[in-house]
Chain A
């Protein structure tokens, strides 16, 4: 019976989910730091840096994720599937995250930067101490969206052989000759759903915790 198989293979699937989470953590962190750098280059950089940032964004937002995975996996000699997936999805995420951060940075009133510079802060210090703490708070909402979509996109890594949740599901489906494929993939769907929801709840809590008094996310009862 397929249900028995599922029950027996549950630890195997859960380990797959763990691999997916590891991959997500690796590439979304890469995407965070690179995306932040790209956003800062885009907003504060000179013409050359801005152009560089724009080209980066255009490329990684304009090429399908699967194609990026193949490019990195086959393009770099002796690269492991996990590393290739981290780089491909990480740079793609960086392009999207940079858009989120750019929007958040540009939403900060220009007077904040002026006041910081007038105090004698250099440009980087002003960005670090004044702009980013505010921009990051603003970005959490949009970032939770990115988080959810990237968590789901970890499943794409199975195309280059990362043995994550979906790949494991596929193994189970093939050795049971396709019987109960619906159930196996249904369990996968449920796992993704739970992970996405949990992540979002954590992020919303974070948003409330770091809300600046007077700038709360939403009025109670509205």
Chain B
């Protein structure tokens, strides 16, 4: 079932055209991993999907509803699209529990006791039930990112967008976040992930999208891209990234 359709997205900042017409689709339950050199517009593309950054041109549909339509009730749509940031962006004045609960109470309008129950369940899911009362500054980067995933999950989203979720983490903390993401992918959560974690991509990606200079250069299942990339740039980039990050075989699946 088609869940997300992104069509011909363009975005320009000043003189710099960051996105030059990007289109792709995501089926329900799929995991797509977007890779590419920095400054290629991957993060901008993710933000265009939930209109945190409004695209200059192009359209986005979520289950047939046009997100980019100016009359769309954007807050309602955003509540159905989880977003996980590179630097977590947990609300610093709230405990882990409140971070996960606040969307349920303030956006979905649930009663506090029901919201608490749901929030605790999501914290449990990311293995942080015992940290419910800790504030973000008291948590490690990996724990903060897991709370932010729980915050996205609590909203029961139709898909979750991950913007380089492990790039701000110390190497030894990356694993715990990837483990959570892998189990989500296996449970059938629809995910679009900007990441250079090739171990993760190999393990769960249904498709890898390679972007450069604001366009999609090549896309296909991991096996195809790793073994027989069509485009020389894809091959070059994958080689480079494998040297830098390793093949990621250490990732538990």
Among A112, A117, A129, A133, contact of B78 (Cβ-Cβ < 8 Å): A117
Task: Specify which of B89, B103, B137 is in contact with A214 (CB 8 Å cutoff).
Answer: B137
- Report how many residues on chain B are interfacial, defined by Cβ distance under 8 Å: 29
Report whether A112 and B135 are in contact in the complex, using a CB–CB cutoff of 8 Å. no
- Asked if A118 meets B92 with Cβ closer than 8 Å, knowing A212-B137, A214-B136, A214-B138, the reply is no
- Decide if A111 touches B89 in the complex (CB within 8 Å): yes
Within 8 A of B (CB), among A81-117: 109, 111-112, 114-117
Which residue of chain A has the shortest Cβ distance to B76 in the bound complex?
A: A120
Contact of B91 among A112, A137, A214, A215 (CB under 8 A): A112
Name the distance in Å between B98's Cβ and chain A's nearest Cβ: 10
Tell me which of A114, A115, A129, A213 has the highest count of chain B C-beta atoms within 10 A of its own C-beta.
A115
| A135: min CB distance to chain B, Å | 10
Contact B92 A112 (CB under 8 A): yes
A118 contacts which chain B residues (CB < 8 A)?
A: 50, 52, 78, 81, 83, 85
A75 neighbours in B (Cβ, 8 Å): none
Instruction: Say whether A154 faces chain B, with CB atoms less than 8 Å apart.
Output: no
Flag if A115 contacts B155 (CB, 8 Å): no
* B79 at interface by CB-CB < 8 Å: yes
Judging by beta carbons under 8 Å apart, are A130 and B91 in contact?
A: yes
- Check if B155 sits within 8 Å of A213, measured CB to CB: no
| Chain A contacts for B107, CB-based, 8 A | 119-121, 125
User: Using a Cβ cutoff of 8 Å, how many contacts connect chains A and B?
Assistant: 71
Known contacts A112-B91, A114-B89; is-contact A129 B106 (Cβ 8 Å): yes
Cβ of B93 under 8 Å from chain A: yes
A120 and B155 form a contact (CB under 8 A): yes
Q: A interface vs B, CB < 8 Å?
A: 109, 111-112, 114-122, 125, 129-130, 133-134, 137, 212-215
Q: Is the CB of B135 within 8 A of A119?
A: no
Q: Which A residues touch B137, using CB under 8 A?
A: 212-215
Residues of chain B contacted by A120 (CB below 8 angstroms): 75-80, 103, 107, 155
What chain B residues lie within 8 Å of A112 (beta carbons)? 89, 91-92
* B102 contacts chain A at the CB level, 8 A cutoff: yes
Q: List 19 A-B contacts (CB under 8 A).
A: A109-B89, A111-B87, A115-B83, A117-B52, A118-B81, A118-B85, A119-B102, A119-B107, A119-B151, A121-B75, A121-B106, A122-B75, A125-B106, A129-B102, A212-B135, A212-B137, A214-B138, A215-B92, A215-B137
Partner of A213, one of B76, B90, B138: B138
Task: Give the distance in Å from the alpha carbon of A112 to the alpha carbon of B136 in the complex.
Answer: 12
Which residues 86-100 in B have Cβ within 8 Å of A in the complex?
87, 89-93
A129 to chain B, nearest CB (A): 6
For A129, the chain B residues whose CB sits under 8 A away are 102, 106
Closest to B154 in A: A119
